Structure 1
Amino acid sequence: MMGNLVEITAADGGRFNAYVAMPEGGSGPGLVLLQEAFGVTQFMRDMADRFASDGYVVTVPDLYWRIEAGVELTDAQFDRAMDIYRQFDLNLAIDDIKATIGALRAMPEQRGGVGAVGFCLGGRLAAMAAARTDIDCAVAYYGVGITDHLAELEQVKIPLGFHFGTDDQHCAADIASIAALVERHDHMSLWMYNGADHGFANPHRGFFSPTAEELAYIRTLAIIRAAIGPKFDLEGMWEQHMYHEFVTKDAHAVLDTMVEDPYVNITSTVMGGVGHDMLLRFYKYHFCDVHPADTRIIPISRTVGVNRVVDEMIMCFTHDTEISWMLPDIEPTGRYIEVPMIVVVSFRGGKIYNEHIYFDQASVLVQAGLLDPANLPVGGIDVSRKLQDKTVMPNRLMKKWSTSEGLPLDKYPSA
């Protein structure tokens, strides 16, 4: 955990605890994280730490304190969670959220705006906070009972996002009304996740969906970043990372551009590493200083997102030295090779968290003379040439291509 407990004074004089997580940089915009019906659980603290790693001062108030302080339940204690939920006063909770926002704004580490993100019960509270407090943006994950507040939400002027799974029976009856609300307001967004159920963002629950969770987090981050920041130069950090990979060839400098516990997946050859020490070893002995002297990169496209950079490129070189991460244990063939690549770089805050690297290994093997392309649907250097020039003749590997010549091209042929 990155955080610690602080005490907040409620409007009526009572006191309650909140978990606070700080960003590595020491300051940042504020974020109030609002609990599920199970209380301030490990999931909530983990999410606070994750948002903190992306540059936020995060506060998770214990909103059950008026009933019972420190509640932390699991699915196995569902009946007890529902019993506490039935005693829960939503209006008093909003008062406590306002007190939390005030305490957050008073922290010297908090700079700029304040947003709110909530899950389940907290999703409903995040939507209510958008209507009743002075926050700058809000995101609700599978919020229950949101349709009880539609009249209030019509007046919301700040960015507001909603996440729901298509299989969520707890919220299914509300989706149409929320979708209609969002349709009327350009600053609101609704995302549905196919096959996801209630609680899909929580890895401690049976309905956890890692793909839905990751996509929802990116979309949440996009709303928050656009509204309150912080801004990071992701492209500049990626350029610095590559500079140390291919120019200075300094493995320690490469790792300085990454978070403390990064990972790299080179999927085509199952190479890379997990964690600082393994990656330092990988970069130092198997990546930074293994590339041929004539290695060059031809950029094709680049997409910069809220927490990702995606590069489409071609790597060119003469295979005059062993490249252990691409052609492990293969003696230099002396052949010139061009490799189309996609690199997906994920960031936590302003530093690199992971790299997913994809390339056409079949075309590498063909160009190196290690794979006979006869009677196989694989290409050689023509793969990279096609990427650079759209007019290069396509479909040469498809023997049936000639059979469609002259056939009708009507989009809607008659019966």
Structure 2
Amino acid sequence: MSESLASAEKAITSLWDKHLESEFAHKSPEEALATMTNNPRVTIVPTMIGGKGTEDLRNFYAKHFLNQLPPDLEVTSVSRTIGATRIVDELVIRFTHTVQMDWVLPGVPPTGKRIEFAMVVVVYTEGDRISAENLYWDSATIMHQAGLLTDPKLPVLGAESARNMLSHTAPLNELLHRTQR
């Protein structure tokens, strides 16, 4: 790897880690925005919630995300892929649904249920700032664990899919076997 590429990867990693610290350790919209461009965007793809532009994103961070992080929230890294202007983080998220979480389950009051799911975050940068984030996950898995999807005929799994991301020991094709019974 060239020295300049290694330096760029180190800089983008440092920027993303600083952004994550501002969100999860400090819960500070202003600190998070300080790591971003003048026209940032965050899109939570499954719920289409987030923000475009500084003011919209400040509102999202302050009223629908950072103030709605459960006290027992755990984020476990599975993998990180780093490019010249992009990072892709594969994560497992765990929490007890004890607070309203507009960014995960909009309009759903706390269920008290334990939730675990796999998430992928794609982070885009411009220069030395984050320009955009796209977050992806399987909403059906979350709704199933929250007790909102209860039909056993639906092809939906629960926490086992996230747990398998960490251990790779869960049996595969369970949904196929379920349909063949």
TM-score (norm 1): 0.41
* Contact 1:343–1:356 (Cα < 8 Å) also in 2: yes
Which amino acid counterpart does residue 130 of structure 2 have in structure 1? Answer: I
Deviation at 1:276, TM superposition (A): 0.7
Query: Which structure 1 residue ranges, 5 or more long, are not aligned?
Result: 1-222, 404-415
Aligned partner of 2:57 in structure 1 is 279
Q: C-alpha deviations, 1:52-72, integer Å up to 9, x for none?
A: xxxxxxxxxxxxxxxxxxxxx
* Contact 1:264–1:356 (Cα < 8 Å) also in 2: yes
Cα distance in structure 2, aligned partners of 1:369 and 1:400: 20
Instruction: Give % identity.
Output: 36
- Aligned pair partner of 1:255 in 17, 24, 33: 33
Cα distance in structure 2, aligned partners of 1:376 and 1:312: 26
Cα distance in structure 1, aligned partners of 2:36 and 2:166: 31
Deviation at 1:262, TM superposition (A): 0.7
Aligned partner of 2:48 in structure 1 is 270
- Aligned pair partner of 2:22 in 232, 244, 252: 244
Deviation at 1:397, TM superposition (A): 0.4
Which amino acid counterpart does residue 383 of structure 1 have in structure 2? Answer: S
Aligned: 1:293 with 2:66: no
Cα distance in structure 2, aligned partners of 1:331 and 1:231: 40
Deviation at 1:239, TM superposition (A): 0.7
Query: Which structure 2 residue ranges, 5 or more long, are not aligned?
Result: none
Matches within 5 A, 1:362-381: 362-381=140-159
* Contact 1:264–1:279 (Cα < 8 Å) also in 2: yes
Deviation at 1:383, TM superposition (A): 1.1
* Contact 1:292–1:320 (Cα < 8 Å) also in 2: yes
Deviation at 1:399, TM superposition (A): 3.4
Cα distance in structure 2, aligned partners of 1:382 and 1:375: 17
- How has the CA–CA distance of structure 1 residues 298 and 358 changed in structure 2, closer, same or farther, with 3 Å as cutoff? same
* Contact 1:373–1:379 (Cα < 8 Å) also in 2: no
Q: C-alpha deviations, 1:129-149, integer Å up to 9, x for none?
A: xxxxxxxxxxxxxxxxxxxxx
* Contact 2:9–2:84 (Cα < 8 Å) also in 1: no
Deviation at 1:230, TM superposition (A): 6.6
Which amino acid counterpart does residue 289 of structure 1 have in structure 2? Answer: N
Matches within 5 A, 1:70-109: none
Cα distance in structure 2, aligned partners of 1:357 and 1:284: 18
Aligned: 1:309 with 2:87: yes
* Contact 2:9–2:82 (Cα < 8 Å) also in 1: no
Aligned partner of 1:318 in structure 2 is 96
Q: Which protein is bigger by CA-based radius of gyration?
A: 1
Aligned partner of 1:340 in structure 2 is 118
Which amino acid counterpart does residue 63 of structure 2 have in structure 1? Answer: Y
Which amino acid counterpart does residue 242 of structure 1 have in structure 2? Answer: L
Q: Secondary structure at the match of 1:324?
A: coil
Q: Secondary structure at the match of 2:78?
A: strand
Deviation at 1:312, TM superposition (A): 0.2
RMSD value over aligned CA atoms? 2.0
Deviation at 1:235, TM superposition (A): 0.7
Cα distance in structure 2, aligned partners of 1:259 and 1:359: 25
* Contact 1:232–1:350 (Cα < 8 Å) also in 2: no
Q: Secondary structure at the match of 2:33?
A: helix
- How has the CA–CA distance of structure 1 residues 371 and 400 changed in structure 2, closer, same or farther, with 3 Å as cutoff? closer
Cα distance in structure 2, aligned partners of 1:366 and 1:375: 12
Aligned partner of 2:105 in structure 1 is 327
Q: Secondary structure at the match of 1:399?
A: helix
TM-score (norm 2): 0.92
Q: Secondary structure at the match of 2:118?
A: strand
Q: C-alpha deviations, 1:49-97, integer Å up to 9, x for none?
A: xxxxxxxxxxxxxxxxxxxxxxxxxxxxxxxxxxxxxxxxxxxxxxxxx
Q: C-alpha deviations, 1:308-348, integer Å up to 9, x for none?
A: 01000011100001011111111111011111100000000
Q: Figure out how many residues of one structure are paired with residues of the other and give that number.
A: 178
Which of the two has greater strand per residue? 2
Which amino acid counterpart does residue 315 of structure 1 have in structure 2? Answer: I
Q: C-alpha deviations, 1:372-391, integer Å up to 9, x for none?
A: 14111111111111212212
Deviation at 1:306, TM superposition (A): 0.6
